[in-house]
Amino acid sequence: MMDYPNPYAPYPGEPFPADTQGGTIPIIPVVQQYAAPVQNQPFDPVFVYPQNLPGALSLIGQAVAGESEDAQFYEWLLQRAPSPEDRQIITGIRNDELHHNGWFRQLYLELTGRPVPSMPGETFMPPANYCDGLRRAIQGEQHAVQNYRKILFALQNRVHINVLTEIITDELRHAVLYNYLYAKNSCKA
């Protein structure tokens, strides 16, 4: 174990009042106490290309499959939005999501040479009220970011990476906007 001079001593070279080691502090045991143990383990497969590509393609298909349910959800929210500001924000988010859907379709086509296969989508279940819809939207944006990061990890082409980065940052912005609406409308958990 190495000892290092105590930079907090009142005068250089003098011991700190509570220091019994003549002005030095044992650094290594303190660092070892808080540092995670180093293990020689391979990275999680979600990070490893090309093994992560099939999972990413499946997630792209799922994102596209939810298109119908998403459209019904946004229409439901818009019909219940209590102010023009709420409607403007939700309309902007809906329009972003339509762009994302097109980008996912293009991305899938470029990665596979085929259009996205048809997958069963989710059935729209109306929320209990407007605030419940906002809560569901916030959670949906968070879930989307988690899935879209997995897609991002499988991309190699810079343009594809840029597109996914745009989609992910949009989803984060949407979550912030939904949180704003949730607070503005005095929604309670």
Average pLDDT over every residue of 136-143: 96
Average pLDDT over every residue of 102-129: 94
Q: Is 80 exposed, middle or buried (0-12, 13-18, 19+ CB in 10 A)?
A: middle
DSSP-derived secondary structure for the chain: --EEE-TTSSSTTSPPTT--SSSEEE-HHHHHHHSPPP---PPPGGGSTTTTHHHHHHHHHHHHHTHHHHHHHHHHHHHH--SHHHHHHHHHHHHHHHHHHHHHHHHHHHHHSSPPPP---PPP---SSHHHHHHHHHHHHHHHHHHHHHHHHT--SHHHHHHHHHHHHHHHHHHHHHHHHHHHTT---
pLDDT, tens digit (0-9, with 9 covering 90-100), for 146-188: 999 999 999 999 999 999 999 999 999 999 999 999 999 999 9
Which amino acid would we find at residue 169?
Answer: T
Residue 21 pLDDT: 55
Domains of the chain: 3-34 (no CATH), 48-184 (1.20.1260.10)
Average pLDDT over every residue of 100-128: 94
Residue 45 pLDDT: 85
Would the pLDDT of 137 be above 70? Answer: yes
Would the pLDDT of 84 be above 60? Answer: yes
Full-model pTM: 0.77
Band (pLDDT 50/70/90 cuts) for residue 121 is confident
Would the pLDDT of 130 be above 90? Answer: yes
Residue 187 pLDDT: 97
pLDDT, tens digit (0-9, with 9 covering 90-100), for 2-60: 555 555 555 555 554 555 555 555 545 555 556 666 677 778 888 888 999 999 999 99
Residue 119 pLDDT: 86
Residue 22 pLDDT: 55
| Residue 68: HSE in the Cβ half-sphere, 13 Å Cα cutoff | 9
